[in-house]
Amino acid sequence: MCVHITRLEFVLCFCICYTVVNITKPGAYRVEGKLSAGQIRVDLGEDAYEDEAAVVELILDNADITCTVAPAIVFLNVYECDGNWDEATATPDVDTSAAGANLILEGANTVNGSHVARIYKDAEGEKKLWKQDGAIYSYMSMNVFGPGKLTLNAANEGMDTELHLTINGGDISILSDNDGINTNEDGVSVTTINGGKLTVLVTGETGEGDGIDSNGWLVINGGTVNASACGFSGDAGIDSDMGIHINGGTVIATGHLLDRIEDGGQNYTVFQFAQKQTGSETVTMKDQENKTLLEVKPENAYSILIFSSPNLKAGNYTLWSNEKQLAGSSGGMMGGPGMGSGGMNRPEHPDNMQPPADGGQPPEGFGKPSEEFT
């Protein structure tokens, strides 16, 4: 195996049986090649939490990374741009543009990762001190940018952060045994999707798993999201403890649980079935004029199907499979500005949370390798 990590003209090539690649200084690092038994670990020290300069941009450029005993990529100590861990003052309006953990996708990349299952707690058994559930894991808020692709295969959860996660671009496919995406801080974390293409399929090898699971809020402003929960557990394609806001983009989510969807900036419809629907069958959604608005092939069994699109207007819709109308109904399960449900207002979002016009490219200055490597 051979993985190249570049910081300007300096290239390191690792060709050993197992290794941990330690990044201990701020900067942009380009990762190329194959690491078949190892981990990339970012740790800028305990003082990094409040240091605005403690920022790492990890550029995956046709990289192939496998770790079977822990996360393949982990951000430990970097700058935390938000720093609000208080449930009483938390809101869905977060700005992660200055986050210290940044993943930039270029080319076609594959990451195969596991997790560290042990959780250490304090003497009272309340405080969560240490765990790494995801194949890509960050203890601080993290951004994902770029025009490239990422195929993420996870032995437990896929992409996790302890605080916030913002996806601005990329073609991301996650196959996970548990939650595809999880942001972990109860009542605080925000998962924000501004652009890109995100496909999540949960195998349920651990017995459960949401497609996207936020312990705080889920905010979708743009891009394409197709999320399938575990086919045999009471989990959701999109799950959020504090509420889901769909303000833009195309969303298709299937599972067996419906979480609260707040009135956002875009219409949505929910089909609910009394009987479990078999996965791997093409389903077509039609309007009153028999016009097809959606054609999708859920991989897992489901009893809830959520659909939202900029083209979705108020009206009655039906689902069909093999020219047979399915028994599910969207009646009373619609929402959004054109559907007249609820009285919740759309949250105000800062400019950086709008769908990026450049396809999710990192801000100017990101992605340029620095001069030093440690």
Specify the 3-state DSSP secondary structure of 48: helix
Residue 103 pLDDT > 90: yes
pLDDT band at 334 (very low <50, low <70, confident <90, very high): low
More confident residue, 8 or 368: 368
* φ and ψ of 48, to 5 deg: -70, -25
Choose the weakest-confidence range: 8-12, 77-81, 108-112, 267-271. Answer: 8-12
**CA–CA dist 255, 241 (Å, integer):** 16
Provide DSSP, 130-159: EEE-EEEEESS-EEEE-SSEEEEEESSEEE
pTM above 0.85, yes or no: yes
Tell me which amino acid residue 55 is: V
pLDDT band at 374 (very low <50, low <70, confident <90, very high): very low
**CA–CA dist 354, 360 (Å, integer):** 11
The overall average pLDDT reported for the chain is 86
With pLDDT > 90 as the criterion, what percentage of the chain qualifies?
67
Give the tens place of pLDDT for each residue, 272-331: 888 889 888 999 999 888 899 999 999 999 999 999 999 898 888 888 988 888 865 554
Of 181, 215, 179, 209, which Cα lies nearest the Cα of 196? 181
pLDDT band at 248 (very low <50, low <70, confident <90, very high): very high
Residue 181 pLDDT > 80: yes
Residue 67 pLDDT > 90: yes
**CA–CA dist 202, 300 (Å, integer):** 8
State how beta strands 116-121 and 128-132 pair. antiparallel
**Taking residues 16-40, what's their average pLDDT?**
89
Which 8-state DSSP code applies to residue 329?
B
Q: Can you name the residues that pair with 57 across neighbouring β-strands?
A: 28, 102
**CB contact set of 73 (below 8 Å; sequence gap of 6+):** 39, 40, 42, 58, 65, 103, 111, 113, 135, 136, 137
pLDDT of 340 reads: 34
More confident residue, 23 or 264: 23
Q: Give the number of residues written for the chain.
A: 374
Choose the weakest-confidence range: 68-82, 209-223, 285-299, 320-334. Answer: 320-334
pLDDT of 323 reads: 84
CB-count exposure of residue 22 (10 Å: 0-12, 13-18, 19+): exposed
**CB contact set of 229 (below 8 Å; sequence gap of 6+):** 202, 209, 210, 211, 235, 236, 237, 239, 253, 254, 255, 256, 257, 300, 302
Which tokens go with 218? Answer: 């889920």
Contact in structure between 115 and 156 (CB atoms under 8 Å): yes
With pLDDT > 70 as the criterion, what percentage of the chain qualifies?
80
pLDDT of 315 reads: 82
**Taking residues 31-48, what's their average pLDDT?**
95
Give the tens place of pLDDT for each residue, 2-25: 566 655 333 334 444 468 999 999
**CA–CA dist 82, 76 (Å, integer):** 16
